[in-house]
Amino acid sequence: MSINSAMLAGVSGLTANSSALAAISDNIANINTVAYKRNQVNFANIVTAQAVTGRYSAGGVQGLTRQYISQQGLIQSANSSTDLAISGDGFFIVTEKGFGLTDADKRVFTRAGSFNVDSDGYLRNDAGFYLQGWPIAANGTINYNPSDLTELNSINVKNLGSAVQATANVTLNANLDKRQTISAAEGTYDPATRSMADWEENSDPATGTQPDFSIEMNIVDTMGGTHKVSFSLLRSAANPNEWHAEIFAIPAADVTGGPSGQIAQGLVMFNQDGTIDLANTTLFGAAGAAPTISLAASGAGGTPRWDDGLGVGAQDIRFDLDKLTQYASASTVRIVNPDGATVGTVVGVQVDEGGIVSAIFDNSQIRQIARIGVATFANPDGLQAVSGNSYRATIDSGEYVIKLPGQGGAGSISPSTLENSTVDMSAEFTGLITTQKAYSACSRIITTADQMLDELISMRR
């Protein structure tokens, strides 16, 4: 009967508008939720077969929920370096467990990047999910598999121990005075019996030779210990552009080798324009040899080597002498810059646009820990929403593909930012008003149909 169909159509209208009100309520409630994606109930009419010509049976309406997951929210700056947003397509991969992950543990996807370092050192967002990434090996390699979630681990930025970096390079910027007078001891100088290292040790002119100029620096060994090393020079009488040179440890006991901790000895040569002539410099071995000194490990064979009591590993140190000059001005040191760092602990975390998470140590070292993976879907609007502002894959969404941030269509990571909710307050309040009016109108349909049925029933009296 048409009156019954009208009443049922009104009921369907109440149901559809109730769903619309629920979606609007969710949107308004989550207007400040990080990376929240608005929902909307769209209406579609239901058409019933008209069995009798001239009579119309109402079909009503059905509400179809649509998720706007693929819509990009506004990215705004945040205070924390671990607040992250994805600029472009893709989702962070997260899990409910920080450690002990197995294949059976579920992984979900989110764009809510409000991550903080928890008490165990894991990056965890406000919903309690742990951020996943590929661990970076000590040599910088990543075991990358775009279709295997189990290759990812929860990122921990504190369970790293201490960081030590042995000195590998020394930058030396100095000038040697071309006007330097020849020392009286230069004629008796011998790097084996009357070395500059010997004089530095005991100041005995009978066994050592006082250098004309010395440059001292600190070297960090493989265990983070600090050692003083001297780069000493003596003007040669044989050639106006030639200097005797020695590199030795202070104290000599740190190194087992030549006289009084001597590590290297030879000549440093200069061109006629005052620049260094590395092609004819013999301080590091044969003329033209790479400007590198090598110290064997403690207890190892060969000399020079670190003292056996130190227990440290082998070490090669390269000297950058391109800025060592011989000009007619006072001998002076401009810059001595050895790299390396003593023992340090984690004091901060940084993330770059490529998704590389690095730990910052208080000794100024930066260690790469992991690289964040970004999951993309053929149809992100087909994902299934779950609690915690996250999603699961469905048949409609298609299979995930894990990509490196900024590559293969995946969005890049934007550090120290957060993605805002996509909710538009003015649009939601407008929808709230129209939904309320539509609901009232549908209720009036039911009231009118009820009155007409009353009239029909009263006809038999």
From the list 96, 203, 229, the residue with the least C-alpha distance to 154 is 96
Of 52, 68, 171, 85, which Cα lies nearest the Cα of 351? 85
Mean pLDDT across 64-70: 89
- 117: tokens are 């370092």
C-alpha angle 23-418-91 in degrees, rounded to nearest 5? 70
Question: What percentage of the chain reaches a pLDDT higher than 90?
Answer: 53
SS3 percent helix, strand, coil of the chain, rounded to 5, is 20, 40, 45
pLDDT of 299 above 70: yes
Residues paired with residue 54 on neighbouring β-strands, in sequence order: none
Please provide the average confidence, as pLDDT, over all residues in the chain.
89
Q: What CA–CA distances, in Å, run from 70 to 66, 356, 389?
A: 11, 24, 14
Cα–Cα distance measured from residue 105 to residue 145, given in angstroms and rounded to the nearest whole number: 18
Cα distances (Å, whole numbers) of residue 164 to 67, 121, 338, 339, 428: 50, 20, 14, 11, 56
pLDDT over 80 at 197, yes or no: yes
Q: What is the pLDDT of residue 370?
A: 92
Question: Looking at 162-314, which runs of residues are DSSP E strands?
Answer: 163-165, 169-177, 213-220, 226-235, 242-250, 255-256, 262-269, 292-295, 305-306
Secondary-structure class of domain 164-343 per CATH: mainly beta
Residues 6+ apart with CB under 8 A from 333: 173, 174, 215
The helix (H) or strand (E) run that includes residue 26 is: helix 2-29
Q: Where are the beta strands (DSSP E) in 275-314?
A: 292-295, 305-306
Residues 6+ apart with CB under 8 A from 425: 28, 31
pLDDT band at 458 (very low <50, low <70, confident <90, very high): confident
* Residue 453: per-residue pLDDT: 85
β-bridge partners, 83: 114
pLDDT for 347 beyond 70? yes
User: pLDDT digits over 19-42, tens only?
Assistant: 889 999 999 999 999 999 999 988
Q: What span, in angstroms and rounded, lies between the C-alpha atoms of 202 and 12? A: 102
Q: Report the pLDDT value the prediction gives residue 211, as an integer from 0 to 100.
A: 93
433: tokens are 């008003």
> Which has the minimum average pLDDT: 107-116, 139-148, 187-196, 389-398?
139-148
Rounded average pLDDT over 193-222: 86
Question: What is residue 364's predicted lDDT score, i.e. its pLDDT?
Answer: 73
Range 333-354 average pLDDT: 86
Residue 460 has pLDDT above 80, yes or no: no
Residue 192 pairs in a beta bridge with none
Does the pLDDT at position 344 exceed 90? no
Q: How far apart are CA 373 and CA 152, in angstroms?
A: 8
For residue 1, the model assigns a pLDDT of 56
Count the Cβ atoms, other than its own, within 10 Å of residue 355.
25
Worst-scoring range by mean pLDDT, 25-39, 78-92, 175-189, 350-364?
A: 350-364
Domain map (residue ranges) of the chain: 2-68+422-458, 80-135+142-155+372-419, 164-343
Per-residue pLDDT reduced to its tens digit, 233-283: 999 999 999 999 999 999 989 998 778 889 999 999 999 999 999 999 999
Q: Are 112 and 127 spatial neighbours (Cβ–Cβ below 8 Å)? A: yes
pLDDT single digits (tens) 424-446: 999 999 999 999 998 899 889 88
CA–CA separation, 243 vs 269, rounded Å? 6
